[in-house]
């Protein structure tokens, strides 16, 4: 056990790591109750596959989706976290952040699952993140209220989460109506016969749509847990996971080359006022806050941090050449550079197009060294999702199949909702935006019920909408309270 995860760990660190990883995988396990259960809802409800086969099949395609994911959603989630806590994730405050996020998300997810409500794991996690950011801005010196929240990224994320259910409702309804015009097969629009599977072609259609939703769910929702696990690993074993030690060849050479080019740009923009290493980090942290502004010290600070990166990389040919003891600090400098460049570009603070292009290319190269997901993390998350689905699928399946519309779900309605869910999630994945499989699919089913003239069970819809409306504020409250409690705990045990 002395060299677990490639480095020696104290007993305390090892226990902490096991606990943190257990909570992160527990979050994905509970996520399986909700979102993955939606993926198998139609195929189980219509008897196209027996539950055990459906869950295993869905789990396999979740695994494939996770393994083939690019990680953009995972790092999009991390971009919502307070900058100073991400940079100093190995600190007591960083650990308090991770634990408060996971515990608050698990509490709300388990509660809504127990009531059979298709609540959103995405909303849950993002609400917890906002709560941590707000609490951090209140409890940390030198902050104004709300500084700990990346409001721009949050706006994009919440917009995606709000728009996607509308897309699910409208397009599922339109697709069902189109199917009725084009496919004149009465069986497709009838309710499932009790304990009897549909004809082979209908089964094939529903299994195919289940496969698509499962794959898309893995490629999007599975990434939320992967990002948090990576954050834990960076905090506990930074020598192994702070940077991608496999990075070498042209990717590493690009960093070195572009570092020199960026240095010339920063020096030109900085003028002649030097900034000390300590002041440079403080200046950039202030700039990256929500209320942070460009000051005369910003470019000198960027020049100083960039020079420090050049010094660390000097004489190296691959990332593995960087001593393990230096990797956590180097990652923090990479993060300061990439986040600062991103803000400069978003705020259009650099007018010259060539300069913008050069700095954008440099930030992209640096990101390759920090934004990576180890294979074992992907596999662990996929298995956690699958196990959660196996244990908790029934409550959500019954809600989706019988309690949204006044009539039971037909084969065509299930196929329409799942096709639209797959397409919507895949589109969000391309843009690195987290969306809720739960919201899209349950909204899609509601849309098909409306289009079919089946009527909607307003009591169920009120409960679902209430869960949706309450998720963000409740999780903001839980996240902030647990973070404040966590800070007290780490202060008591003398962790800094």
| 167 shares its domain with 57 | yes
Q: How would you classify residue 47: left for phi > 0, otherwise alpha for psi between -120 and 50, otherwise beta?
A: left
State the pLDDT at residue 224: 77
| More confident position, 433 or 415 | 415
Let me know: does 149 contact 476? Beta carbons within 8 Å: no
pLDDT digits (tens, 9 = 90+) for 368-419: 999 888 888 888 888 887 777 777 666 666 666 555 656 677 889 889 989 9
339, 354, 370 - which closes a domain: 370
DSSP type of residue 405: B
Q: Percentage of residues in the chain with pLDDT exceeding 70? A: 87
* Domain identity same for 208 and 103: yes
Q: Check if the beta carbon of residue 228 is closer than 8 Å to that of residue 102.
A: yes
- Domain interval for residue 21: 4-236+373-492
Same-domain pairing of 36 and 181: yes
Please indicate, yes or no, whether residues 70 and 99 belong to a single structural domain of this protein: yes
Out of 15-29, 47-61, 321-335, 456-470, least confident range: 456-470
Between 272 and 496, name the one with better pLDDT. Answer: 272
User: What pLDDT score was predicted for residue 3?
Assistant: 43
CA 35 to chain CA mean position, Å? 14
CA 110/CA 92 separation, integer angstroms: 27
pLDDT at residue 201 above 80? yes
Evaluate whether 323 touches 302 at the Cβ level (below 8 Å): no
The pLDDT value recorded for residue 28 is 84
pLDDT at 333: 93
Average pLDDT, the chain: 83
pLDDT at 330 over 90: yes
The pLDDT value given to residue 406: 65
* Claim to verify: residue 297 and residue 382 sit in the same structural domain: no
Confidence of residue 2 (pLDDT cuts 50, 70, 90): very low
Q: What is the pLDDT of residue 8?
A: 62
In the chain, the number of structural domains is: 2
Is the CB of residue 402 less than 8 Å from the CB of residue 413?
Answer: no
pLDDT mean over 297-314: 94
Q: Do 69 and 372 form a contact (C-beta atoms < 8 A)?
A: no
- What is the pLDDT averaged over residues 316-344? 92
- pLDDT(5) > 60: no
Q: Is residue 255 located within the same domain as residue 110?
A: no
For the ranges 251-260, 264-273, 461-470, the lowest mean pLDDT is seen at 461-470
End position of a domain, from candidates 351, 370, 389 = 370
Identify which of 371, 428, 479, 421 has the alpha carbon closest to the alpha carbon of residue 130.
479
For residue 276 the two structure tokens come to: 């000390």
Do 207 and 148 lie in one domain? The reply is yes
Q: What is the mean pLDDT of residues 261-285?
A: 87
pTM: 0.79
Q: Are the beta carbons of 460 and 467 closer than 8 angstroms?
A: no
**Sign of dihedral through CA atoms 114, 104, 328, 325?**
negative
Euclidean distance between CA atoms 484 and 321, whole angstroms: 39
Residue 317, pLDDT score: 94
Q: Does residue 77 have a pLDDT over 70?
A: yes
365/377 same-domain check: no
Do 121 and 153 fall within a single domain? yes
Q: Identify the residue with better confidence: 452 or 408.
A: 452
Q: State whether 398 and 337 are in the same domain.
A: no
* Domain end among 341, 370, 399: 370
**pLDDT score of 108:** 86
- Do 97 and 230 lie in one domain? The reply is yes
Are residues 253 and 217 located together in one domain of the fold?
no
């Amino acid at each position: 056990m002395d060299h677990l995860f490639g480095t020696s760990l104290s007993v305390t660190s090892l226990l902490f790591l096991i606990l943190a990883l257990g909570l992160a995988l527990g979050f994905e396990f509970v996520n399986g109750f909700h979102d993955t259960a939606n993926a198998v809802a139609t195929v189980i409800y219509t008897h196209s596959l027996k539950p055990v086969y459906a869950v295993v099949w869905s789990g396999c395609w979740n695994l494939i989706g996770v393994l083939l994911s690019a990680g953009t959603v995972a790092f999009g989630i991390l971009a919502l976290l307070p900058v100073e806590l991400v940079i100093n994730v190995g600190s007591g405050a960083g650990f308090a952040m991770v634990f408060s996020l996971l515990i608050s998300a698990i509490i709300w997810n388990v509660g809504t699952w127990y009531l059979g409500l298709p609540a959103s794991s995405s909303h849950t996690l993002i609400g917890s993140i906002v709560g941590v950011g707000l609490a951090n801005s209140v409890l940390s010196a030198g902050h104004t209220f709300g500084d700990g929240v990346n409001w721009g990224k949050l706006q994009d994320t919440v917009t995606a989460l709000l728009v996607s259910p509308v897309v699910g409702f409208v397009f599922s309804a339109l697709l069902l109506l189109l199917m009725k015009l084009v496919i004149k097969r009465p069986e497709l629009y009838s309710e499932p016969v009790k304990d009897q599977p549909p004809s082979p072609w209908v089964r094939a259609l529903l299994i195919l749509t289940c496969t698509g939703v499962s794959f898309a769910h893995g490629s999007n929702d599975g990434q939320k847990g992967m990002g948090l696990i990576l954050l834990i690993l960076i905090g506990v074993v930074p020598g192994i996971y702070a940077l991608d030690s496999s990075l070498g060849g042209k990717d590493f050479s690009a960093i070195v080359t572009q570092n020199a080019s960026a240095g010339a740009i920063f020096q030109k923009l900085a003028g002649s006022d030097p900034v000390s290493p300590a002041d440079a980090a403080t200046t950039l942290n202030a700039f990256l806050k929500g209320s942070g502004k460009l000051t005369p010290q910003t470019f000198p600070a960027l020049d100083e941090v960039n020079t420090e990166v050049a010094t660390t990389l000097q004489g190296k040919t691959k990332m593995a050449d960087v001593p393990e003891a230096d990797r956590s600090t180097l990652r923090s400098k990479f993060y300061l550079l990439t986040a600062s460049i991103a803000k400069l570009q978003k705020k259009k603070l650099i007018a010259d197009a060539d300069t913008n292009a050069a700095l954008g290319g440099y930030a992209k190269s640096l990101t390759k060294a920090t934004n990576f997901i180890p294979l074992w993390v992907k596999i662990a998350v996929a298995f956690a999702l699958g196990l959660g689905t196996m244990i908790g699928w029934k409550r959500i399946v019954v809600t989706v199949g019988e309690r949204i519309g006044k009539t039971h779900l037909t084969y065509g309605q299930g196929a329409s909702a799942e096709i639209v869910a797959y397409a919507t999630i895949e589109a969000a994945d391309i843009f690195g935006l987290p969306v809720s499989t739960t919201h899209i699919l349950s909204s899609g089913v509601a849309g098909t019920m409306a289009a079919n003239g089946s009527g909607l069970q307003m009591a169920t819809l009120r409960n679902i909408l209430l869960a949706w409306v309450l998720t963000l504020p409740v999780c903001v409250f839980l996240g902030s309270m647990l973070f404040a409690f966590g800070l007290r705990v780490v202060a008591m045990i003398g962790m800094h």
